[in-house]
Amino acid sequence: MTTSHYIAGHWVEGQGSDCISVNDPALGQPFAELMAASVSQVDQAVAAARSALPAWKSTCASERAAFLRGFAEQLGQRREALVTLQMRNSGKPRHEAEIDLDDAIATFGYYAELAEQLPSKNRTVPLAAPGFTARTRLEPVGVVGLIVPWNFPLVTSAWKLAPALAAGCTVVLKPSEVTPLIEQAYGQIADALGLPAGVLNIVNGKAETGAALSNHNGLDKLSFTGSNSVGCQVMRSASAQCRPVTLELGGKSAIVVFDDCDVDQAVEWIVAGISWNAGQMCSATSRLLVQDGIADALLQRLQAALENLRVGNPLTEEVDMGPLTSQAQWLKVASYFATAREEGLQCLAGGHALDREGWFVSPTLYTDVPKDSRLWTEEIFGPVLCARRFATEEQAIAEANDSRFGLVATVCSTDLERAERVADALEVGHVWINSVQAVFVETSWGGTKGSGIGRELGPWGLSAYQSVKHVTRCLG
């Protein structure tokens, strides 16, 4: 795959110095290679987006909505190929890969509807002062850079690409070098739909390509999803140019289980929160806070549930959990297993890599984990669950909030008044009550504290790519 970059409406060969090896994590073997984009090609992509901006932002909202619906339809037509690629390159079980695709389709459809409503958002503003009239315009912010992660390719890019195009922005998209192939579908769809050249550009690469894009002075905004360490670098480059950013970063989220909760139901929610995508989620509820009265029974059943999860190759087996997506992540999770042994943590399940080909680890549960343990405080990005007990509602809230992150949380209780009260007290961006982590495009996504800046999805996702202009006119 040499023509892996989509610039100004054309597929071009990479001219960078990095060769990207695309791996099947269930086998631990590469199945494709591509050359990264050069810094010069990043320049070309930004220039193409800049050139396409005037015409694209002037298109009527209904025309942009039609393109977005075209993206949704074309994704559906490519269903089996995209699901299979998601399984092969990311290691996701089929049911997870199918949900990813459905999420992307729904996102494009939702923002098509919001795009059609844009003309009604430009309105007259009533003024208290006589002799003046004013009106508000919502305008596209301009050329935007989109840098997306490897844990939810296709999905995270849809969350950014759809509202950006709906707003009238032009885009340079950089996929992760770990999962660079599936986002190529967006370029193929742009070709099939006749999207004007330069409106969407895709450049693949490693750190050099990402830095060239995030530092580029031709961007008007950057939206980044990924690690906190890289997010800090993105903020530094943005601050040098006073450029707006949206950052969706890490998490160390809590799931709070009260003793009035049905044990079997709670176990289902807990397992889903730590094993989905093999725990490679910024939203993984990796800190379990369980009330004393239910703790022994719940931990016993949770141990059995984790040990009974079917872990394997999603292309050849019926599995509940696939491998970790990269060798680097596999080594990182293994290092936390070693840290747990050094700290003397009590391991009820897992705690080791699996002795088979590919990058597999066991679903893991540690209990009575001290609050100063690295495993309690740091984002692991793997199926590693740490549990602590609590006595009172106040203690549960305090311990859940005692984190430098604030992305999501889950509350489990049959006392719905209490559950709502606790949800309101948690310092996070999204809370689930008695549920798995169902994410709907109409709701918002983003966090507080070290989990990022801004919101995606819902109307907030669209407004992230808009600027507000007021026009005031003297009537005299």
Which active-site residues does the annotation give?
248, 282
Q: In whole angstroms, what is the distance from residue 439 CA to residue 441 CA?
A: 7
Which residue, among 251, 226, 200, has the nearest Cα to 48 in the 3D structure? 200
Q: Which amino acid is at 311?
A: V
Q: In whole angstroms, what is the distance from residue 359 CA to residue 362 CA?
A: 10
Q: In whole angstroms, what is the distance from residue 301 CA to residue 254 CA?
A: 19
Residue labelled with tokens 């989905």: 276
Q: In whole angstroms, what is the distance from residue 377 CA to residue 450 CA?
A: 12
Is residue 114 within 8 Å of residue 452, measured between CB atoms?
Answer: no
Residue labelled with tokens 């996929």: 175
Q: In whole angstroms, what is the distance from residue 377 CA to residue 404 CA?
A: 8
Other residues' Cβ atoms within 10 Å of the Cβ of residue 399: 18
Residue labelled with tokens 């090609």: 41
Strand (E) positions, 36-126?
123-125
Is residue 397 within 8 Å of residue 422, measured between CB atoms?
Answer: yes
Q: Which amino acid is at 29?
A: Q
Is residue 71 within 8 Å of residue 304, measured between CB atoms?
Answer: no
Q: In whole angstroms, what is the distance from residue 113 CA to residue 92 CA?
A: 30
Q: What is the CA radius of gyration of the chain?
A: 23
Q: What is the DSSP letter of 470?
A: E
Alpha carbon 111 to its chain centroid, in Å, reads 17
Which residue, among 416, 414, 391, has the nearest Cα to 291 in the 3D structure? 391
